[in-house]
Amino acid sequence: MALIVAVLILALLFGGLGFAVHALWIVALVVFAAWVLGFFLRSGSTSGSGRWYRW
C-alpha cells in the first residue's frame, strides 16, 4: 500500500513539474516575442539612441 501511495505522489510531483516547465516555456516565448518586436520597432526610428530598454 505504501508503494502505491509513493508512486502516486511521485506521479503527481512529476506532473506538476512538467506543467510548471511548460508554463515557463510559454512565458519565455512571450517575453522573447515582445523583445524582438520592440527591437525591430525601435531600431526603425530615427530619434534617440535606438535602444528601447534602459540598461
If you average pLDDT over every residue of the chain, what do you get? 82
pLDDT confidence band for 43 (50 / 70 / 90) = low
Q: What is the pTM of this model?
A: 0.58
Q: What average pLDDT does this structure show over 11-29?
A: 91
pLDDT confidence band for 27 (50 / 70 / 90) = very high
For residues 8 and 6, give the distance between their C-alpha atoms in angstroms, rounded to a whole number. 5
Asked whether residue 51 carries a pLDDT value surpassing 70, the answer given is no
- Helix/strand/coil (H/E/C) assignment for every residue in the chain: CHHHHHHHHHHHHHHHHHHHHHHHHHHHHHHHHHHHHHHHHHHCCCCCCCCCCCC
Structural contact between residues 52 and 39, judged by C-beta atoms closer than 8 angstroms: yes
Q: Is 47 helix (H, G, I), strand (E, B) or coil?
A: coil
Give the residue, 46 or 19, on which the prediction is more confident: 19
Which residue has cell 526603425? 44
